[in-house]
Amino acid sequence: MKLKKPIFLAAIAVLGIAGIIIYRNLEATSLAGIVGENLKQASDRVILTVNGEPATEKCWTMWYLTIRLNPQNSGMSDLEVKKETLRKIIEDKALYSEAVKRGLLVSEEEARKYAQEQRAIMESPQVVPESKEFFHELLKSQGLSEEEYWEEVAKASRTVLTMNRLGESFRQSVNVPPPTPEEIEALKAKHPEWGNVSPEILAQKASQEKLNQLWEEFKSQIVKNAQVEILDPSLKEIYLAITE
């Protein structure tokens, strides 16, 4: 079944809504109305492609709202939010296409299982009432039933889980050598709060930091090699700004 109305991914409802409500001094119904109205106005028009993978206006709107409404980004200008939105979309599409090329596509069954797990989290006591209220108000604003929503989340989760699988595959393929004494000292200088941590734990942390650095370099190379086609004229200047 193909839904005509846009959805907002479960992650923002579960993880970030309470903080947004408190920071913006908004009621859950008001925030749901803001998000819902923006999503209603977004279309299925393709605004760019990355390695042939299309990104629609709906995709842009979801990422823009996720970044814009995050309290940690309150100091960002609208242009900065748009730049970050475009970076995120290009990176996600590039990593997804790379994962597919490497045969790492997650099955529909795995994605459906993950969506069921997310639904269980949403319905659990650990989710604050504000997030649950926002979630139900958003569904109402979009004219979606819970079943329709979670069906769409399962489809979206397949993309996210496929990208995660690429990260896992990369980490398993990389052999990080033990950190040198100089690297240990540099890590201690960077994190003074770790002064009392044992040498073994510091070595583990140094190795993890190196692995994360290699992963970021890998992602940057994948994005750099991606074939990006900007179809929306309003995004061309933004794209030039983030690729300078």
Per DSSP, 179 falls in state P
Residue 139: the pLDDT is: 80
pLDDT digits 0-9 by tens, 103-141: 999 999 999 999 898 889 888 888 778 778 878 887 887
Which pair of structure tokens corresponds to residue 238? Answer: 């933004």
Which pair of structure tokens corresponds to residue 116? Answer: 């069921």
Residue 14: the pLDDT is: 37
Residue 39: the pLDDT is: 72
Place of tokens 């540099």: 186
* Angstrom distance (rounded) from CA 228 to CA 91: 10
Residue 181: the pLDDT is: 86
pLDDT digits 0-9 by tens, 84-103: 999 999 999 999 999 999 99
Which pair of structure tokens corresponds to residue 217? Answer: 């370099």
* Angstrom distance (rounded) from CA 82 to CA 238: 7
Tell me the H-state helices in the chain: 10-11, 17-24, 28-41, 57-68, 78-101, 108-122, 129-142, 146-173, 181-190, 199-225, 236-243
Radius of gyration (C-alpha) of the chain in whole angstroms: 20
For the chain, which domains are there?
A: 10-176+208-243 (1.10.4030)
Which pair of structure tokens corresponds to residue 144? Answer: 């979606």
pLDDT digits 0-9 by tens, 156-176: 889 989 999 999 999 999 998
